[in-house]
Amino acid sequence: MSANAASGNPAAGIILLIGVAFAAALILLRKSPFFLISRVLAGLFRPLVRALRFLRIIPRAGRAAKPGPGVRVGPSAWVAFARPFTWKTETDNALGSGPAHVRAQLKTSQGIFFSWLQPEEGIVTLPREYTEDIAKNDLEKAHAFLSYDIPIRANPQSLYEDLDGAFIVNIFKNSDNECFYVLSQMRKVINTNVRILSVVFSSIVSIVLIGNIFYSEYVDFFSILQMHDNITTIEFDLFNNHYKYIMDKLSINKAIFGALSCCLGMATMWIFYQTEYSPFQRNNGRELNNFLTRYLAQLYGNFRSVEANARGAIVGEKDVSVIKEKSVLWFITLQWIAFRFFFIESFLRTIIFQILRNSSYYLVFVPFIFLVAILSIGHYANFSQVNILEAKSNIYQQNSFYVFFVILLSVYYRYLKNSVSFIMESIREHEWTQFHDLNMDHTLITLIETYTGEIAFWRHRLKPGVRED
């Protein structure tokens, strides 16, 4: 196959475009194909796994591996590779399907490619007035948290942030599950949008690349522009040197095709980014910020109500049993609500980490998968046009394409690089009531001083010789 066989082999370019479309479909399907592969491989390797368990090389199912002083090569060594093959994470399993009212009021706005979530006002069901009856009902939850048995061992086939997220959800599942569920769904939608963007933009770059390699000679711009000279001479001076290039009809067609295709690719990226991706992702960031503002504001109101009740629990009260009951109720509830703030922020920290980490994976590996797909198909199908090791390959027979393609790649890189940064700008933690805003140390000091003062007052009044008015 000659270097100029592109004009005689348009099917090769079509095959590569089909390969690119197949790679895009696999990435967009996310875990579905990986999960299917894992089920097939599990059936094939089940006899081998049983043999390894019989020889005690790997632990048997249902038994924890015995801790040892050294590092063992076991399931944890393959966690980074096993993650795509798992259908649900530890956090997903802990959250379950989510509360029914949350699913009903968590609206999804779907565009052509991207989507954004809108938690409606009624999704937050925290009490606006934290009464004594509510506190008594929550006291069991507070006791459950304060006596929680922390599991020391964990599943080595899970990533740490999944274990940490599941740990937090399990502790406060009966009080803040709606908050954790919304945050988790927000993360999934934001990451899905980034994945789709990387697939769409990588597809655009791949189409431009394949188009120039295989079809840059097919459009006769020379005749369309009614150019009469078969040879065009381009002369220019650069750094005191005079350069002269002679371009024939074929070179002119390639130059115009390369410039137009790259400009069209950049224009398409701009349309996708500005008209749908950017607004949708900004909406996701804004809705996440607004949801947290509402949720933590109501939780803060509960905290201040408990604080006020804790201050007045013993003031003017003479019945010791009532003093004891109310003091225990409000003190335990106060600390429980404060810890909820702390762990909600910790869960959010994990969510933001996952958004940034997963997005960086997409922005690196998705373009890499497209490039590998093109080169692999070209190699195994023996398409010399994309053979990077052959000097006469069509990859090295272009002209203006190289300049404009570099510009296209720089625009592509800039869009992908900034695809998450403005989302993070929409998340403004200074607008929420955070754990440090509770001034927990000052609150406890004030309550202890109030209780101590009340005790000292009654001790003084009950001293012999002190007349009670």
- DSSP per-residue string spanning 331-394: HHHHHHHHHHHHHHHHHHHHHHHHHHHHHHHHHHHHHHHHHHHHHHHHHHTT-GGG-TT-TTSG
Q: Provide the pLDDT for residue 281.
A: 92
State the pLDDT at residue 2: 38
Residue among 37, 29, 25, 24 nearest 82 (CA)? 37
Which of 46, 53, 96 is closest to 74 using CA atoms? Answer: 53
Q: Which two tokens stand for residue 369?
A: 């998968």
SS3 426: helix
d(CA 155, CA 436): 32
Distance from C-alpha of 189 to C-alpha of 11, rounded to nearest angstrom: 37
Tokens 């009654």 found at: 458
Spatial distance between the Cα atoms of 190 and 282, rounded to a whole number of angstroms: 10
Q: Please, which residues have CB within 8 angstroms of residue 409's CB and are 6 or more apart in sequence? A: 205
Q: Which amino acid is at 99?
A: P
The structural domains of the chain, with segments of one domain joined by +, span 5-63+72-438
Spell out the per-residue pLDDT of the chain, length 469, in tens. 333 444 446 778 888 888 888 888 888 876 544 444 445 555 565 676 677 666 665 555 444 444 444 444 444 545 555 555 566 788 888 888 888 888 888 898 898 889 999 998 888 888 888 999 999 999 999 999 999 988 888 777 778 888 899 999 999 989 999 999 999 999 999 989 998 999 999 999 999 998 888 887 776 666 666 555 555 665 656 666 665 555 567 777 788 888 899 999 999 999 999 999 999 999 999 999 999 999 999 999 999 999 888 887 766 666 777 778 888 899 899 999 999 999 999 999 999 998 888 888 888 888 888 888 888 888 888 787 777 777 777 777 777 888 899 999 999 999 988 888 878 888 888 778 888 888 888 888 888 877 777 666 656 555 665 555 5
Residue 214's CB is within 10 A of a number of other CB atoms, namely 25
Six token digits for residue 259: 């410039």
Name residue, tokens 């909406």: 283
Number of CB atoms found within 10 A of residue 443's CB: 19
